[in-house]
């Protein structure tokens, strides 16, 4: 629970969000899915940049989902220092 509280402290306050999944992977790593309510790709980019600044991390695109219907777009990100099975974060864009 303490790690989830830490994640919550890194999420930019100016955006509405929901942590839909959280799994501790080890003492220092976790996997999380965060849904963010933004209106366009530019807002999603600002959210990601603010999250990276607050958390001291840098995320790269792991995969994209070009044919989503429920969201405007959907990208899966992974921390650039992590192996494939470590810290993983998804940003699901659109109305929750």
Q: What is the pLDDT of residues 39-85, one digit of tens each?
A: 888 998 899 899 989 988 888 777 766 666 666 667 777 776 665 54
Asked whether the predicted pLDDT for residue 10 surpasses 50, the reply is yes
Alpha-carbon distances, residue 7 vs 3, 22, 30, 66 (angstroms): 6, 9, 9, 27
Structure tokens at 9: 């402290």
- Residue 53: predicted pLDDT: 93
Burial class (CB in 10 A: 0-12, 13-18, 19+), 47: buried
């Amino acid at each position: 629970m303490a790690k989830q509280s830490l994640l919550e402290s890194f999420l930019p306050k100016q955006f509405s969000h929901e942590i839909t999944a959280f799994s501790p992977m080890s003492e220092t790593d976790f996997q999380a899915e965060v849904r963010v309510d933004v209106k366009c790709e530019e807002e999603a980019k600002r959210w990601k940049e603010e999250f990276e600044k607050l958390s001291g991390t840098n995320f790269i695109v792991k995969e994209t989902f070009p044919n989503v219907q429920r969201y405007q777009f959907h990208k899966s990100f992974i921390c650039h220092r992590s192996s494939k099975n470590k810290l993983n974060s998804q940003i699901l864009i659109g109305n929750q």
